[in-house]
Amino acid sequence: MSVLNVISIAIFIALLFGLYKLKKPDTSLAKQVFIALVLGAVYGFFLQLIHGGDLDQIRPTLVWTDLPGDIYVSLLRMIIMPLVLVTMIAAVVKLHEVAALGKIGGSVIGILVFTTMIAALVGILVTTVFGLSAEGMVGGERELARAAVLETRAPVVENLTIAQTIVNFVPRNIFADLTDARSTSIIAVVIFGMLFGLAALLVSREKPEYAERIKGGTDTIQAIIMRLVKIIMSLTPYGILSLVTYVVASSNGGDILNLIGFVIASYVAIAIMFAVHGLLLSLSGNNPMEFYRKIWPVLTFAFATRSSAATIPLNIRTQIEELKVPPSIASLSASFGATIGQNGCAGIYPAMLAVMAAPTVGIDPLAPGFILTLVAIITISSFGVAGVGGGATFAALIVLPAMGLPIELVALLISIEPLIDMGRTALNVSGAMTSGKITSRIVTEGVS
């Protein structure tokens, strides 16, 4: 390790210490996260500058600057399954009417699917306005290697059916699903938690002498889990500093400039969908500005980690404590939103790729039949993505072959994928929290 790397690591430690000193009762988490975001970006550019953009020279520093971020993400992943399970059990136990659970689930999924349809239309519109096309795009060695890998994975998703997707959601070994063994494990744990809570609720009604013990036990475990989440959330600024440093320091400016049009168009589409979420919140009687102010730390974490699943603990806690969403709704919207109807990954991204690829095979992307078919397939595939994992890439692998379009475009965009994926993930999480907040206004009877 060079002297320059040692100095860089010392500076990073000083930044961590500065964030620690900033932590005061009158300094909100949102403010701490924003400061960490700015510091991480500046420090990442600093590393690029002093090493001349050579990632091989930067990497020894990133090995140590990544440490806080890796630990933070691991702690969040550790708490996901216990949090989802306990929250769902406690939420169902507290329901006065079992039918309310169906109303909640129906509302959450309906909003997620509806916003994904809008996201697909936004993706089509923005791609058309920017005049983006895959014609003339040439890939290098890295892109060609990626294309070869995608060709081998395509058959995995080409024959995916709605029936198979539904079967994959059902838990068949809850202990395996608690270890996140499958791409649909989160949904499986949600379903098991609902069934377990339903059984506990029925036992409470059939044997009233058990009712208080069941309620007291679930309340106690839920309180412990939420306190653990709060402890982990206190580490958010340090995790954000580490994660943003890596993203900025490891970015390739040349690749970004080569495809800057697609990057800009993607973020325009993402911004439009954030505005759509705000409009839906406003129409349902909520204050969009207040909503985004309260969920800012969650969106920042989603942006830095590019993981909707890892954001679930922060998502649930923020909905319950900041947005005052009932636990049952918060848990369902966070869990479903991480795997179903992702506005960014399953909505905007495959729509943009399809419109770009269509002219290469002689298809008019503005033909009404093409647009209707594309939106329908995207809506259906927003359920199928959870069945195979892989987020936006697999969403594209489902949609493009179904539309008779080549999948090579997915590989050609590999160099800028991480940059766009940050915004897409934040949008996914915003969609999940929007569905929770709106559902809490729509569905009130029997929810506590």
What pLDDT is attached to residue 99? 61
What pLDDT is attached to residue 403? 81
CA distances from 59 to 5, 47, 68, 169, 260 (A): 9, 10, 16, 40, 25
Model confidence, pTM: 0.72
What pLDDT is attached to residue 140? 44
What pLDDT is attached to residue 2? 83
Q: Tell me: the pLDDT tens digits for 355-412?
A: 998 888 888 889 998 999 899 888 877 765 543 444 677 677 668 877 878 766 665 6
Alpha helices, DSSP H, located in 159-207 = 162-169, 174-178, 185-206
C-alpha torsion sign, points 333, 336, 339, 341:
negative
What pLDDT is attached to residue 143? 43
The terminus-to-terminus CA distance of the chain in angstroms comes to: 56
Rounded to an integer, what distance in angstroms lies between the CA atom of residue 162 and that of residue 184?
14
Domains of the chain (ranges; CATH) run 3-442 (1.10.3860.10)
Query: CA 102 from chain center: how many Å?
Result: 24
What pLDDT is attached to residue 288? 94
Q: Tell me: the pLDDT tens digits for 52-103?
A: 877 788 889 999 999 998 898 888 888 878 887 887 787 777 765 556 677 8
Rounded to an integer, what distance in angstroms lies between the CA atom of residue 8 and that of residue 25?
30
What pLDDT is attached to residue 412? 61
Residue 435, token pair as written in the block: 């569905």
Rounded to an integer, what distance in angstroms lies between the CA atom of residue 157 and that of residue 394?
7
Write out residues in the chain with pLDDT < 70, as ranges.
Answer: 95-100, 135-162, 164-165, 183, 251-259, 383-391, 394, 397-398, 407-416, 444-448
